């Protein structure tokens, strides 16, 4: 059959003659929408149950939410979180540098530190530091009980614990940078410090920021454990109140809501920091 014959063959009725005449219809996903409706219904029922449950005593929650003692505890929690994160990442960065060093002694020290402090639960560490006076009654010529207050014990214990995890986060971020980038910087004659600061670190931050943000939020919540050594943080402030009023649930809800608010703010900040360091990678969304 010739091409002329093919050209004169009429198209079947209802068949589009051109590709652009075709209408693309999205696939119907009824199962997903059914599951979404079911989840929303369950969330609505759970929310209604919490709101209508008088045992939560929401009026009491509103009364204590911004009291001076609760806000002081919140401030101490935020301050403790900031101090621990700064000191923990400073020590963790040093340990990461040791781990990547060519010196086997430094590598062994870093590896041993991370192994030890990741093996001991944070509560056990805090209690050990809190009772360090039983092992060393004096330090630097000063009584240990006078030198290490509960807040100082919290800072020491949380920082040493945080540094072990920060070391692995920093080490993983540095190892994520392609070795060719460092070799190219060396070939251009850049100094070791400048190549690390201008080339390696900006790229490593893309891998460091997400777990570091998660550690920040985890540290904020983890500070609640210092209440066991009588540090007047947010949770301990709430406990002091409900030990007097016996309104346990409302005061726990006060602490819960404040933790939720602060972690939400930190989560938003983490999103924008990640977006900043992901520029040019196609993942900055």
pLDDT in tens, 9-64: 455 555 555 655 667 667 777 778 888 889 999 999 988 888 888 888 889 999 99
State residue 12's pLDDT score: 54
pTM above 0.85, yes or no: no
Q: What is the pLDDT of residue 16?
A: 52
Q: Where are the beta strands (DSSP E) in 122-267?
A: 138-139, 142-143
| Distance of alpha carbon 216 from alpha carbon 210, whole angstroms | 10
Task: Say whether pLDDT at 72 is over 60.
Answer: yes
pLDDT tens for residues 215-234? 999 999 999 999 998 899 99
Regarding the domain delimited by 58-277, which CATH topology (the fold level of the hierarchy) does it fall under? MetI-like fold (1.10.3720)
Residue 102 phi, psi dihedral angles, 5° rounding: -80, -10
Q: Residue 3 has what pLDDT?
A: 45
- Give me the residue label for tokens 């649930």: 249
Position 19 scores a pLDDT of: 56
Question: What proportion of the chain, given as a percentage, has pLDDT over 90?
Answer: 48
The half-sphere exposure of 91 on its side-chain side, counting CA atoms within 13 A, is 19
* Closest C-alpha to 217, from 174, 268, 152, 169: 268
pLDDT of residue 254 exceeding 90, the answer is yes
pLDDT of residue 4: 46
């Amino acid at each position: 059959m010739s091409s002329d014959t093919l050209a004169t063959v009429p198209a079947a009725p209802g068949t589009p003659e051109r590709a652009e005449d075709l209408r693309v219809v999205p696939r119907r996903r009824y199962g997903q929408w059914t599951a979404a409706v079911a989840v929303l219904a369950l969330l609505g029922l759970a929310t209604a149950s919490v709101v209508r449950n008088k045992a939560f005593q929401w009026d009491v929650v509103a009364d204590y939410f911004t009291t001076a003692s609760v806000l002081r505890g919140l401030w101490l929690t935020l301050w403790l979180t900031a101090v621990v994160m700064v000191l923990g990442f400073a020590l963790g960065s040093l340990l990461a540098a040791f781990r990547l060093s060519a010196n086997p002694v430094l590598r062994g020290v870093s590896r041993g530190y991370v192994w030890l402090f990741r093996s001991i639960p944070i509560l056990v560490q805090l209690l050990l530091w809190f009772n360090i006076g039983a092992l060393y009654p004096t330090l630097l010529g000063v009584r240990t009980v006078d030198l290490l207050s509960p807040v100082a014990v919290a800072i020491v214990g949380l920082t040493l614990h945080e540094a072990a995890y920060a070391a692995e986060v920093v080490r993983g971020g540095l190892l994520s940078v392609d070795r060719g980038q460092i070799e190219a910087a060396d070939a251009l004659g850049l100094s070791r410090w400048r190549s690390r600061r201008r080339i390696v670190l900006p790229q490593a931050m893309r891998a460091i920021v997400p777990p570091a943000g998660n550690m920040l939020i985890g540290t904020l919540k983890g500070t609640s454990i210092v209440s066991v050594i009588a540090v007047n943080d947010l949770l301990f402030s709430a406990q002091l109140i409900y030990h007097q009023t016996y309104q346990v649930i409302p005061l726990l809800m006060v602490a819960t809501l404040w933790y939720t608010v602060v972690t939400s703010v930190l989560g938003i900040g983490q999103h924008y920091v990640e977006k900043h360091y992901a520029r040019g990678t196609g993942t900055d969304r």
